[in-house]
Structure 1
Amino acid sequence: MMNFNGGIYRRFVKRPMDIVLSFVAILILSPVFLIVALLVRINLGSPVLFKQKRPGLNEEVFMMYKFRTMTDEKDEKGNLLPDDRRLTMFGRLLRSSSLDELPELFNILKGDMSIVGPRPLLVQYLSLYNEHQKRRHEVRPGLSGLAQISGRNAINWEDKFHLDVEYVDNVSFIMDWKIILLTMKKVFVREGITSESAPTMEPFTGTKKERRMES
């Protein structure tokens, strides 16, 4: 039988809660949106928003919005420079404060995302997931999630996917609000912004088992 903290919450409460929370947040934070947009325009130029296709619920692709944090610097061949070369001090500040994520509130309002869920990753990773990892797409991707409060970019991919699927199996009102409150704490403390070997997170190249099968 379904209970409020499980099936009923997921089917009938979670989406309306996302709409209300994202709408209220956009209204309250509208001055912050304007200030950050102006600072991005001054420090990094146009466009102010970074747009990228990401897979969402049931692997359906949507356009995700973030504030831009990198320059468009290219090498002599016209290729973009590595992330660590294009990520400015201002961009690092936006990421460490999570202000670059604010435009995703519009994705939540539209229904592409949820306040809480597995983070939307790159489209090219879809073909690299095993059956267990694919289960992360059984719910809408989130502004924050269980993996984010457990280490964000500082934990490895296997642990991240394990936490994503753990969330899928245990979605509840209590869990969502626990994640929301712990996320706010993490934002102030600024933990887990980077991994040990990359400015954000190393690219996902598949699990070790899958790489052995391909070789």
Structure 2
Amino acid sequence: MYKRFFKRIFDLILSIIALPFWFIILIIIGPIIYFQDKGSIFYNAPRLGKDGEIFKMYKFRSMKISAPDIRNEDGSTFNGEDDSRLTKIGKFIRKTSLDETPQLLNIIKGDMSIIGPRPDLPEHKELYEGNEERKLEIRPGVSGFNQAYHRNTIPWKERIKHDIYYIDELSLCLDIKIFFKTAASVLKREDIYVTDNSTKDSSKF
């Protein structure tokens, strides 16, 4: 019952409560992002949603205009502490995870959940093996099991295994644990950046 009904209800209630506070963040962060390089405030990233449907995931733009797309060897997006593509404000909002807060709008729209597997790139669907496509059974989350307990310290394929474990064990209790563990990790700024910086040109991906 929680997975099919109450999870969505809780998502909507908590998101609507948080919306006024997010508007305050938008009013403060938005102009800084714009005036640093006169670019768009938001970055709309195509992602795989529930049942494999593609949606636009909203983020505050943390990179310079026309920054190149760099991937790790496993195909996941590169995220490094010394990434020269980041703007000054971009480094700050990455470290504090404020860049992810516009996904509140995705939750209200029904694209995402507060807790769930982090959404993959559309092209990742072709790389799923065995039962890995099961991670698309539920709405992706702003945070999830991996973000709470590992963040960027483990390979993409291992994250998928954890996503499937989460789906099988999904409950209100587990979501509450993940929520508070995520909050603690964000406040401590733990494991923000990938530990293996092996990268490749996305044109070869």
TM-score, with structure 1 as normaliser = 0.82
Cα offset, 1:191, TM superposition: 1.0
Q: d(CA) in 2 for partners of 1:70 and 1:108?
A: 23
Structure 1 residue 167 corresponds to structure 2 residue 160:
no
Pairing partner for 2:40 from 36, 42, 47: 47
2:111 is paired with a residue whose SS is coil
2:134 is paired with a residue whose SS is helix
5 Å matches for 1:8-157? 8-73=1-66, 80=68, 82=70, 84-157=83-156
Cα offset, 1:161, TM superposition: 1.0
Q: d(CA) in 1 for partners of 2:134 and 2:69?
A: 33
Structure 1: state its 5+ residue gaps: 1-7, 75-79, 206-215
Structure scoring higher RCO (CA < 8 A, sep ≥ 6) equals 2
Q: d(CA) in 2 for partners of 1:10 and 1:115?
A: 13
Cα offset, 1:101, TM superposition: 0.4
| Percentage identity across paired residues of the two chains | 37
Q: d(CA) in 2 for partners of 1:117 and 1:129?
A: 18
Cα offset, 1:23, TM superposition: 1.0
1:19 is paired with a residue whose SS is helix
8 Å CA contact 2:36–2:87 kept in 1: the answer is no
Q: Which amino acid in the other structure matches residue 20 of structure 1?
A: I
Cα offset, 1:81, TM superposition: 7.1
Q: Which amino acid in the other structure matches residue 188 of structure 1?
A: L
Structure 1 residue 178 corresponds to structure 2 residue 174:
no
Larger Rg: 1
RMSD: 1.9
Deviation track 1:164-183 (CA, whole Å, cap 9, x = no partner) reads: 11101011000111111111
Cα offset, 1:111, TM superposition: 0.2
Q: d(CA) in 2 for partners of 1:166 and 1:55?
A: 19
2:131 is paired with a residue whose SS is helix
The worse-fitting range, judged by mean Cα deviation, of 85-94 and 102-111 is 85-94
8 Å CA contact 1:53–1:63 kept in 2: the answer is yes
TM-score, with structure 2 as normaliser = 0.86
